[in-house]
Amino acid sequence: MRRGLYVESVTDEWERYRLQGRAVLGALAPTAFLTGPTAAVMRDLPMVGDPPETVFVRGVPRGRYGKDVKVVSGANAAGETYEGMRVASMAWTVADCARVMSRRDALIVADAALRTSGCRAQEIETVAAHLAGCTGVDGVRWVAANCDPGAESPGESWLRMVVTDLGYEVQSQVVVGNSRVDLLIRGTRVVLEFDGAVKDQPDSWQGAQSVLNEKRRQAELEAAGYIVLRVIWDQLSDPARLDRRIRAALGAGAHP
């Protein structure tokens, strides 16, 4: 993994990345701290795909620290101790993610940070102001403007991004009768629900009960005049098809 570090039986790729991050941090000056995607992984914020190939750090001058180390610069970021290691504050972690990750992946991190840590969008906006003129600051501003603590999963975050990119204004976690829906297109009765794997695996009593509850919930929404569009992960890669489904629902009279 790195010189001086031997790992015998770690098979989980994310755990390997965590060990790699700790090893890099331990080899750098005491002023160093982890940031961006690396700090997000250490904080157990959700990631999509494979672990990063790079460990992102702050607090040291740029130099040759190894091919797997990226020094992030720009403004004086705030660091703190988390589970015995130095990491960027949550707002700075999110901001540096927004500078080096895709919009989707950074939004997933930001939504989870707001939902689980008490970090606020205003804190990310403040960091963006400190980063004025720095590379990637536009991504930070976008994330600050679009993050939402209402998203309860990466799929919900991505769904919201896709739908807003299509030009629709949405509300998250709206209470409708006895239900709380993932997304509601504002001013309409079109509900968007992200279907994760747990709901779609009725191979246990819990799974079967979950499917039954979802069917009952959808029936209640439809009886109240709502059209429920369920979206699975693979369908998020085809925004045009989702747009056609939404337009069809609107054409069917899904208005208050």
* pLDDT digits 0-9 by tens, 85-134: 999 999 999 999 999 999 999 999 999 999 999 899 999 999 999 999 99
Q: How far apart are CA 243 and CA 218, in angstroms?
A: 21
pLDDT tens per residue across span 157-195: 999 999 999 999 999 999 998 889 999 999 999 999 999
- CATH number, domain containing residue 235: 3.40.960.10
pLDDT of residue 76: 93
Instruction: Find the mean pLDDT for residues 26-46.
Output: 97
In sequence order, the 6+-apart residues with CB closer than 8 A to the CB of 119 are 90, 91, 94, 113
Q: Is the pLDDT of residue 4 over 50?
A: no
Q: Is the pLDDT of residue 11 over 70?
A: no
Q: Does the residue 96 lie in any domain?
A: yes
* Tally of domains within the chain: 2
pLDDT of residue 64: 86
Owning domain of residue 53: 13-146
Domain end residue (candidates: 102, 118, 146): 146
